[in-house]
Amino acid sequence: MSKMLVKYLTPGVTTARPIKDENDNVLFPRGHKLTEQDIQSLVERRIVLVFVDKEDLFQLRKKAQGDKEEPAAGSLQYKTPLIDDVQLLVSEDTQKAAIEAVHSVIGDMRSGKPLDSAQSQDVVDTMVLEMMANKDAMVNLIDIKTFDDYTFSHPVNVCALSILIAIEMGCSAEEIKVFGVGALLHDVGKVEIQDEILNKRGALTDEEFLEMKKHPVFSRNMLVQDKKISEQSINIAFQHHEKFNGAGYPQGLSGEQIDKFARVAAIADVYDALTSDRIYRPKMKPYEAMKIILSGNGTHFDPEVVKVFVKHMSVYPAESIVRLSSNEIAIVIKANENTLIAPVVRLIVDKNGNKVSNKEEINLSEDSRYICEALSESDLNP
């Protein structure tokens, strides 16, 4: 699958994900062949980006490049003049397999069966291999959020994010696989917590919070049932709510008393929770969540892990839509590693609200304009 700007779509291309309007209503389902009329309606709604089938990409790119020269067979260079392809960090099949593995473990726990991690171990092995192969790809965190059900998608996202950080920290594949299993199963103990507490809209009472704080212990007790799960994996589940300054739970461990990978999973856990829709609040934008991670640097989170996370996650991930100080709207093309708040962008709407056809890239680290706010795609819709 690939993400493309709507203005370069051609009739006949197939959607790889449902296209939704600003109210989350599906305009076109996945697998829909877009007609000229459909594309026009997307333009009118000011929808900027859509996911399309990878096979359609060359056709789209030819249009974008004005049918210049055709590359030799087998040498397709997917270098769009508009926007880089989204390289999926984890393939869709693997994401689905991971969701199924979590679903199966949680189902077993709910029905009182013993925990069997075989399926989880297999899928984590695949995730680690895929992510190590893609490690140079620009990370677009939005793309790991394919599934809507938080109970099953959150563990998979935390696992993927944790693996990513561990790769950047230079850990070995074997080490990361052990880690990934712990990250994938870190919250299984929540099946013991009442739904009224898990899904409460308002703040938890002291009593409810005490109950909630038991879930890492429940997770540990479940994971020890399976001898295939290593002690380090269990520690991740047991310690992911510990804080670097000792103010966490269940044991109040601090600094290096907390397992290295539990310190990584803690960041992944909070970041994914903040950027996911919950019953009691809508999801935050990546840069808002990043601000919260940074505010916990050295207190909640290990500064060494925060450094790796911030460096590789980018405050404004590629393809974020942002409003500039000039009131122009731009799309982020790539991050500047040393100035995370000033990425390279391309204008898409000028200060008068007109679409921009100029494909010029602006390096904000060398420009007087700066980012005022991150927008969502729906902000662009009338």
- Closest residue to bound Fe ion by CB: 187
Span interacting with Fe ion, options 8-16, 78-86, 186-194, 293-301, rule CB under 5 A: 186-194
Instruction: Report the residue number, 42 or 258, with the smaller CB distance to Fe ion.
Output: 258
Span interacting with Fe ion, options 15-23, 54-62, 180-188, 288-296, rule CB under 5 A: 180-188
Q: Is 242 in the site for Fe ion (CB under 5 A)?
A: no
Span interacting with Fe ion, options 31-39, 71-79, 91-99, 179-187, rule CB under 5 A: 179-187
Residue numbers annotated as active site: 190
Instruction: Report the residue number, 38 or 272, with the smaller CB distance to Fe ion.
Output: 272
Shortest Cβ 186–Fe ion spacing (Å): 6
Shortest Cβ 273–Fe ion spacing (Å): 9
Shortest Cβ 370–Fe ion spacing (Å): 36
Span interacting with Fe ion, options 163-171, 181-189, 244-252, 320-328, rule CB under 5 A: 181-189
Instruction: Report the residue number, 219 or 314, with the smaller CB distance to Fe ion.
Output: 219
Shortest Cβ 61–Fe ion spacing (Å): 43
Instruction: Report the residue number, 301 or 316, with the smaller CB distance to Fe ion.
Output: 301
Question: Binding residues for Fe ion, how many (CB under 5 A)?
Answer: 1
Shortest Cβ 190–Fe ion spacing (Å): 7
Instruction: Report the residue number, 143 or 187, with the smaller CB distance to Fe ion.
Output: 187
Specify the length of the chain in residues.
382
Out of 38, 187, 259, 302, name the contact with Fe ion by CB under 5 A. 187
Shortest Cβ 338–Fe ion spacing (Å): 34
Instruction: Report the residue number, 85 or 192, with the smaller CB distance to Fe ion.
Output: 192
What are the residues binding Fe ion (CB under 5 A)? 187
